Amino acid sequence: MKNPLAVLAVQYHPDVTKESDGGVHFQRINVAYQMVMGNLREAEERLEYWRLKYGLDDEDLDKYRSYLNDDDDDDGWFDA
C-alpha cells in the first residue's frame, strides 16, 4: 500500500504538479497514508497482544495474517 500512495504523493506534490489544487490532493494523500499506516500498526499491535496473551507462535499469526489477506472464504482457518 505504501508504493501506490508514494507514487501519488510524488505526482501531486506541490513542487512537481502544475495544477492549482495539487496541494489539496497532496494533503489528502498524506492523510490517507497516515490512516492506512495507523491501522496497520494497530493490527500488528493487536496480533502481538494475542501472541503474548494466548501463547500463539509466529506460525499461528502468519496463518491468521494470510487469512485476513485472502479473499477466498473456504481456506480452512476454522477447521483446526
Domains of the chain: 2-69 (1.10.287)
Asked if residues 34 and 45 have their Cβ atoms less than 8 Å apart, the reply is no
| pLDDT exceeds 70 at position 65 | yes
Over residues 25-38, the mean pLDDT reads: 89
pLDDT reported for residue 26: 86
pLDDT reported for residue 80: 45
pLDDT reported for residue 73: 53
CB-based burial label for 26 (10 Å; 0-12, 13-18, 19+)? buried
Q: Which position has the grid cell 496473551?
A: 53
User: What's the one-letter identity of residue 65?
Assistant: R
pLDDT reported for residue 17: 80
8: Cβ–Cβ under 8 A, 6 or more apart, which residues? 25, 29
pLDDT reported for residue 72: 53
13: Cβ–Cβ under 8 A, 6 or more apart, which residues? 22, 26
| pLDDT exceeds 70 at position 70 | no
- Banded pLDDT at 6 (limits 50, 70, 90): confident
